[in-house]
């Protein structure tokens, strides 16, 4: 079974451009998480969805960041306009939240560089 799929794996863009990161969770999972990893701040949770509904977006740094989950098999994280300080690795993770408490499975990440 395929794991969490993220695209692109690498993105280099210029300051001010719009960036869209994509994630396909593991089939059957009902919760999806977006994280950002930097040397300075470590792993930070940005937002998470349960059954396609955003539950907690308190980690989204500012209005330039937005995330959507139009269906159970796809989510996007958009940064508009991008800034150099947004450079980081962005991870998507999914899990099945229900009677049992399950671990999150992470995608390979998208390495974003904003020049």
Partner 1 sequence: AQKVTQAQTEISVVEKEDVTLDCVYETRDTTYYLFWYKQPPSGELVFLIRRNSFDEQNEISGRYSWNFQKSTSSFNFTITASQVVDSAVYFCALSEVGSGTYKYIFGTGTRLKVLA
- Give contact residues for partner 1 (rule: CB under 8 A): 31, 33, 42-43, 45, 48, 50, 55-56, 89, 91, 93, 95, 97, 101-109, 111
Here the tokens at position 32 are: 């999806």
DSSP class of 26: P
| Strand 5-7 to 42-50 pairing | unpaired
Q: Which is nearer to partner 1, 70 or 98 (CB)?
A: 98
Q: Which is nearer to partner 1, 82 or 104 (CB)?
A: 104
Q: Which is nearer to partner 1, 25 or 107 (CB)?
A: 107
> In angstroms, what is the minimal distance from the CB of 45 to partner 1?
6
Instruction: Find, among 112, 63, 61, 74, the residue nearest to 91 by Cα.
Output: 112
> In angstroms, what is the minimal distance from the CB of 14 to partner 1?
24
Residue 93 CA: distances (Å) to CA of 16, 17, 63, 70, 81: 27, 25, 22, 16, 24
> In angstroms, what is the minimal distance from the CB of 47 to partner 1?
10
Q: Which residue has the tokens 């907690």?
A: 56
């Amino acid at each position: 079974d395929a794991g969490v799929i993220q695209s692109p794996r690498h993105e280099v863009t210029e300051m001010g451009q719009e960036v869209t990161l994509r994630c396909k969770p593991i089939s059957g999972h009902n919760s999806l998480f977006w994280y950002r990893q930097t040397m300075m701040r470590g792993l930070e949770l940005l937002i998470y969805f349960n059954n396609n509904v955003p539950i907690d977006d308190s980690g989204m740094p500012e209005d330039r960041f937005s995330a959507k989950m139009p269906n159970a098999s796809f989510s996007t994280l958009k940064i508009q306009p991008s800034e150099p300080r947004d450079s980081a690795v962005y991870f998507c993770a999914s899990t099945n939240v229900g009677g049992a408490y399950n671990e999150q499975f992470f995608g390979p990440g998208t390495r974003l560089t904003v020049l």
